[in-house]
Amino acid sequence: MLIKNISVLYGKDLDYIQHTNVRISDQAFEAINVNPKPKEESYDCEGFLMVPGFINAHTHVGDSIAKDIGIEYGVDEKIHPIRGFKKKILRNSSSSHLTSFIRSSCLSMIKKGITTFVDFREDGLNGIELLRKAVSGLPIRSIILGRTEYYQDFRSIKKNTPLPASKKDELTKLLKKCDGLGMSGPNENSDSVLKYCSNIKKIRAIHSAETIESCKISKKITGKTETQRALLLKPHFLVHMTHASKKDLLLVAKHKTSIVVCPRANAALAEGIPDVTLMMKTGCNIAIGTDNVMINSTDMFREMDYLWKVSMGTQKKRLSPKYILKMVTVNAANMLQNKKIGTIQPHNFADCIFIDKHDIDLEPMHNPHASIVHRASENVVKAVMIGGKIVFGKI
């Protein structure tokens, strides 16, 4: 297949190419700037901009059934793994209803140009199987990070209680069914548990420094920051880091651990805004997630726009829109150590978005990166391709 006369954001630097041809073969980008072959299937995409498929680096799609319930409550009341009412809602919902609404969230992501999402799955094996059933037959790439429903109290953390043998067996079985581990947070796990889980060979991730209160609790019960303890997991990435100090961020960068920020979810919970400028300054690799569906919509266009403007508004420093766009493409792929997604270049999966440059909200497009970050919406998405197949819209 040849995509002719199209504009492209190409390679790891998202370089703007005004006019080119892109060949797609065997689910991947084969070559760029090539001439047509005789009788080759081709599509003239004059006026379209090809953008790498977005990667939603942190979701909880399992709570899609609970949109905007308890909008006035904070983090602990809503989503704490032990005390939050989210757990009660999910326990009292039928599997068929949960599956249906999770599937709807995935379809919504596809329409908005999200071609890969990374989900923290609660409820052990049941939660993993529920998500697998929900995405069955859908083209979106799902990266499932499971967990055992085992949370330690503060006494157990102070005593450094290890993971029980029964939970080790459960964790071994669980990891055979998913892509890695998505832990709740350091304040629900002892150092012993975190160190044990650091030996897992798959993706490891954990929430950290989401709230001021969680940071205070960590210092009170262990004498260490939440981030210092989270790093005992040797995670591939930390989620939130809204209240991480500069010292913590330097430590994260030293460990070459990535960060996933969830700015709209943090704001909706009245927990503050992650300091992306400081994260960048300290050398951290940063990606973006939309977090819980009960709190936030799965929309990377809105996420990028919000983060770009609120970061400049709070820090009073200019932030490159190209870098924001890298956060949902190149950086997220780097975080996942997946060289096949996140960029348009030969041998990568042909996951991309076709944006109408002549849309009334975008034309004239003088700065493509800025236009996508703060002017584009799902309305400008004319088609979405995953693995070389159009899965939404048409070209």
Residues 18 and 159 in one domain: no
Residues 225 and 256 in one domain: yes
Q: How far is CA 324 from CA 127, 227, 277, in A?
A: 32, 24, 11
Residues 9 and 44 in one domain: yes
Domain boundary, last residue among 311, 335, 359: 335
C-alpha of 26 from chain center? 26
Residues 240 and 350 in one domain: no
Q: The domain containing residue 189 runs over which residues? A: 54-335
Residues 40 and 74 in one domain: no
Residues 121 and 105 in one domain: yes
Residues 308 and 389 in one domain: no
Residue 14: the pLDDT is: 98
pLDDT in tens, 321-373: 999 999 999 999 999 999 999 999 999 999 999 999 999 999 999 999 999 99
Residue 90: the pLDDT is: 82
pLDDT at 8 over 90: yes
pLDDT at 78 over 80: no
Residue 74: the pLDDT is: 80
What's the CATH code of the domain at 293? 3.20.20.140
Residues 163 and 278 in one domain: yes
DSSP class of residue 52 equals E
Give the pLDDT band (50/70/90) at residue 281: very high
CB atoms within 10 A of CB 57: 30
Residue 208: the pLDDT is: 98
Q: How far is CA 80 from CA 7, 49, 176, 230, in A?
A: 45, 41, 26, 17
- Number of domains forming the structure of the chain: 2
Give the pLDDT band (50/70/90) at residue 71: confident
Residue 30: the pLDDT is: 97
Domain boundary, last residue among 291, 316, 335: 335
Contacts of 205 (CB under 8 A, 6+ apart): 118, 120, 145, 180, 181, 182, 183, 235, 236, 237, 238, 239, 260
Residue 91: the pLDDT is: 82
Residues 108 and 64 in one domain: yes
Residue 159: the pLDDT is: 97
pLDDT in tens, 362-382: 999 999 999 999 999 999 999
Q: Round to whole Å and give the CA distance between 207 and 8.
A: 35
The phi, psi pair for 158, rounded to 5°, reads -65, -35
Residues 44 and 137 in one domain: no
Residues 187 and 286 in one domain: yes
DSSP of 284-344: --EEE--EETTTS---HHHHHHHHHHHHHHHH-S---HHHHHHHTTHHHHHHTT-TTSSS-
pLDDT in tens, 101-145: 999 999 999 999 999 999 999 999 999 999 999 999 999 999 999
Residues 42 and 181 in one domain: no
Domain boundary, last residue among 315, 335, 355: 335
What's the CATH code of the domain at 13? 2.30.40.10
